[in-house]
Amino acid sequence: MTFASVAAFRYAKSVQGELVWHQALEAESKIRKDGRTEQITYASSAAEDRIVLTVSELAPGTTNLQWRIATADTVEWVMCDYPVGAGEHFYGFGETYGELDQRGKELRLWVENGCVRDLSYKPIPFYISSAGYGVYLEHCELIYARMATPDIGNRVQLKVSSGELNLYRFESADIAGIIDRYTAVVGKPTLPPPWFFGAWKSRDWRTENQQTVMLDLQRQRELAIPCTVKLIDAAWEQELNDFRFHAEKFPDFASVMEEAQRLEYQVVIWISPWVAHWTNIYKELDAKGYFPKTPDGQTYVHRLGNSPNLLGSMIDFTHPGAVRWWQEQVERLMQLGVRGIKTDFGEQVPADAVFADGSTGRTMHNYYPVLYNRVTHEVVNKYNGILLGRSAWAGSQAFTGIWAGDQTADFAPRSGMLATIYAGQNIGVCGFPFWGSDIGGYFGKPDRECFIRWTQYAAFTPCMELHGLGERDPWDMDSEAFGNYVMYTSLHTRCSLICIRLQSRRRNGDCR
């Protein structure tokens, strides 16, 4: 039996403020449009409605199913459920924490500013089944996925806050083939330049300045610590976020770039897609209409970042003028010699925000990370540069490397090092290969054992980044912790060089 024949479809209409659910009944007609497309019309439990299912074989192993409802009413939710095997297991759904197998779980796919328990910066509406297929929901709205939970037994139930449902099903003999077919639809990852795969050094943004940057650049070379990237994190700007270097913290950034180039580092700089409302740059951009609006047409001012006192507005990347202004600022950084942008945040679009193109937060909340990274990548890519993003949705892998965000500085299974081990594997099967985490975690200062173990683990991830709150310079630690850091950054560097050479051979057709 085909997937279309066993998948049950339901939808909810808003009737006098209440949700009323209806379901597809028997098929009334089938039309074969061509050799690869079939259109099936179903009766509905709402007698006046009809459901039209279009099934298209786009390529071998790739099938698209689109359900649309012919109705005079507003459809608020659509749902598809189908049987699965008693021993079937499910993997993916983005950067989820705590386990690999998602069987028995209900997942809420909504980009969040958090990475504790079921919150995720990078939920992805895609999963792979142990039965040899993958499913992708081409939606940006809120999604609930119930994966054979105890109350529904051996079934999967996918519910989307939308008026229609667009689903892809991929089949292959192995997981790699499923991922390949999935990324052929949403976009292939962009291979970063070789220096991306070296060790990265950052430090606490609250204390970073020109002197600490110079210290990192010079001390690592003096101590023979392998490192290719110096990351300058938040608070380098005069105002949040005006793209101007802070006059006191960075009085001569040109000299920083000269030293970085002399010592053969690449520099990556932090940005976020919002502006604090008390700044001068905010007034300028607000006057030009570069921020989303409230439903009544006012500039949308809301909480940003992690502080309850940080208020402002997000950049409207659907506004051509806002995109032009943003890309001009990024271009200026790249012309200074910067070769990477750490695209932080992007998770805080209000659900009722209204954007210049008419879209609302209902769809833009999850899609915003894709748009944010895309417009930034358009500039950075011209310089063979990279992004390191925190938030993501399906399609983000085409523009950015990613890191796991802000974990606790411990071994906690839902928020610390163990959580990132699960998260990296879960996001990896969703087509995001270029991933890493903050060595030692972000919140808090790791103890000696945590720092040593996290360093060892990070050496075997594509992006090995030393970062977090509090000072954690390896040269200030005891000899064992310091020696461990040097040994594993060296190992990471050697492993990366092997991978780069293999990739180069593959591109040249030599698969030996």
SS3 141: coil
Q: What is the mean pLDDT of residues 301-318?
A: 95
Q: What is the pLDDT of residues 68-116, one digit of tens each?
A: 999 999 999 999 999 999 999 999 999 998 899 999 999 999 999 998 8
The structure's pTM equals 0.96
For residue 109, what are the CA distances in angstroms to 95, 274, 446?
11, 23, 30
Which residue carries 């309850």 as its tokens?
A: 308
Compute the distance between CA of residue 431 and CA of residue 189 in angstroms, rounded to an integer.
Answer: 7
Total Cβ atoms within 10 A of residue 9: 21
Angle at the Cα of 123 from the Cα atoms of 119 and 127, rounded to 5 degrees: 125
Mean pLDDT score of the chain: 95
pLDDT reported for residue 186:
98
CATH of 194-507, one of 3.20.20.80, 3.40.50.620, 3.40.50.1370, 3.40.1350.10: 3.20.20.80
Residue 35 — very low, low, confident or very high, per pLDDT cuts 50/70/90? confident
**Cβ atoms of residues 77 and 412 within 8 Å:** no
**Domain edges within the chain:** 3-186, 194-507
Share of the chain above pLDDT 90, in %: 92
The pLDDT confidence band at residue 507, using thresholds 50, 70 and 90, is low
- 151 pLDDT band (50/70/90 cuts)? very high
What is the CA 189 to chain-centroid distance, rounded?
12
- Residue with the two structure tokens 């209440």: 18
Q: CA-to-CA distance for 289 and 321, rounded, in angstroms? A: 9
Whether the pLDDT of residue 512 is over 70: the answer is no
Identify the CATH class of 3-186.
mainly beta
Report how far residue 441's alpha carbon sits from residue 384's, in angstroms, rounded to the nearest whole number: 29
User: Buried (b) or exposed (e) across 232-256, using 16+ Cβ within 10 A?
Assistant: bbbebbbebbbbebbeebbeebeeb
Q: pLDDT tens, 389-404?
A: 999 999 999 997 999 9
- Tokens 């411990």 sit on residue: 410
Sign of the C-alpha dihedral computed for residues 295, 296, 299 and 301 taken in this order? negative
